Amino acid sequence: MIELKNVTRRFGDTVAVDGIDLAIETGEVCVLVGSSGCGKSTTLRMINRLLPHSSGEIRVDGKDITTLNPERLRLNMGYVIQGTGLFPHWTVARNIALVPRLLKWPQARVDARVRELMTLLDLDPDTYANKYPAQLSGGQAQRVGVARALAADPNILLMDEPFGALDAITRENLQLEMLRIQRQVRKTTVFVTHDIDEALKLATRIAVMDQGRIVQHDTPENILRHPASEFVENLVGKQDRGLKLMSLRPVRELMTAHARPRPATPGADALGEDDSLREALSVMLCRNLTQLPVCNGRGEETGVIARERIIRDGV
């Protein structure tokens, strides 16, 4: 869906992006990760033509973007920037409605869409629709930014460190929300971060950038198992690669399933099937347990997970 071929961007003598090739498939979440100044934001802004590329070719849906009208191109790409970029003198509802109104949707449809998105992002419309950005917490404002980007149902989402300025807990909640929304609406997404854990959690594939180049483009698992260079190895963290691999795999993969679900034991510690092996191991280490029951989304016990099994087969 998005294809960059030998794309370069210079600012005077600075080569911000240096001949990168990148292909992003429909429905994929591609995460660009790398240290400050390596060219992540520049890459994103070239895709929606906020910045022209100096050379090379960018195709969206097979079409060279320089042949497309930039405004039309952008209407099909939700864009979330760090610090939200909300209009301070507009209400939450009006901010979210920005693109639908540009597209001249009838008012009733705009209102319905705003309510739908606020609900999807866990912002009660009756409480927040008429508030102004300054009346929101950082996490709430970021949610409004994400709702605005999704408003006109674009095929592509570009997100530049959308959760960068948030505390760890809010950040984790928004990451989980993003995974949930991604399961529901499945947008082709290019997501920029310098946080490797965020990249591992959200990406279908990660593009590691260094000094304007892509040094590795692969799945989270392959990046962890086979880092292409010492730079990538240091980025993913040499020491805790084992735990990071465990965080990619859900408990369901290594649990011993019961023949049929049983009622859960009241008050007992239990894990969810989608919790990671890392969480499972952590709970067992803290409680000094050798195994734990596993429950499905309806709260029925569907099996058990054993500590030894995680240690033997978890990585």
Nearer to Mg ion, 41 or 84 (CB): 41
Chain positions 114 to 143 lying near ligand ATP, rule: CB under 6 A, are none
Smallest separation (angstroms) from ligand ATP to the CB of 161:
7
> Considering the complex, what minimum distance in angstroms separates the CB of residue 263 from ligand ATP?
50
Residue 41 within binding range of Mg ion, rule CB under 5 A: yes
The site string for Mg ion over 154-193 (x = CB under 5 A, - otherwise) reads: ----------------------------------------
- Answer for which of 22, 42, 254, 294 binds ligand ATP (CB under 6 A) is 42
Integer Rg of the chain from CA: 22
Report the distance separating Cα 190 and Cα 216, nearest Å.
16
Q: Which residues, including other chains, have CB under 8 Å from residue 148's CB and lie 6 or more apart?
A: 78, 80, 86, 95, 96, 98, 99
42 close to 20: Cβ distance less than 8 angstroms: no
Cβ-closest position to Mg ion: 41
Choose, by CB under 6 A, the member of 2, 16, 97, 236 that binds ligand ATP: 16
Residue 11 as a binder of ligand ATP (CB under 6 A): the answer is: yes
Kindly compute the dihedral angle of the four CA atoms of residues 38, 3, 69, 111, in this order, to the nearest 10 degrees.
-80
Q: Build a one-symbol-per-residue string for 164-203: x at contacts with ligand ATP by CB under 6 A, - elsewhere.
A: ------------------------------x---------
- Asked if 36 is part of the footprint of ligand ATP (rule: CB under 6 A), the reply reads yes
For residue 43, state whether it binds Mg ion (rule: CB under 5 A).
Answer: no
DSSP state letters, 8-56: EEEETTEEEEEEEEEEE-TT-EEEEE-STTSSHHHHHHHHTTSS--SEE
Q: Is 38 in the site for ligand ATP (CB under 6 A)?
A: yes
Cα separation of 250 and 279, whole Å? 9
Q: What Cα–Cα distance (Å) separates residue 306 from each residue in 59, 254, 293?
A: 48, 8, 9
Binding residues for Mg ion, rule: CB under 5 A, are 41
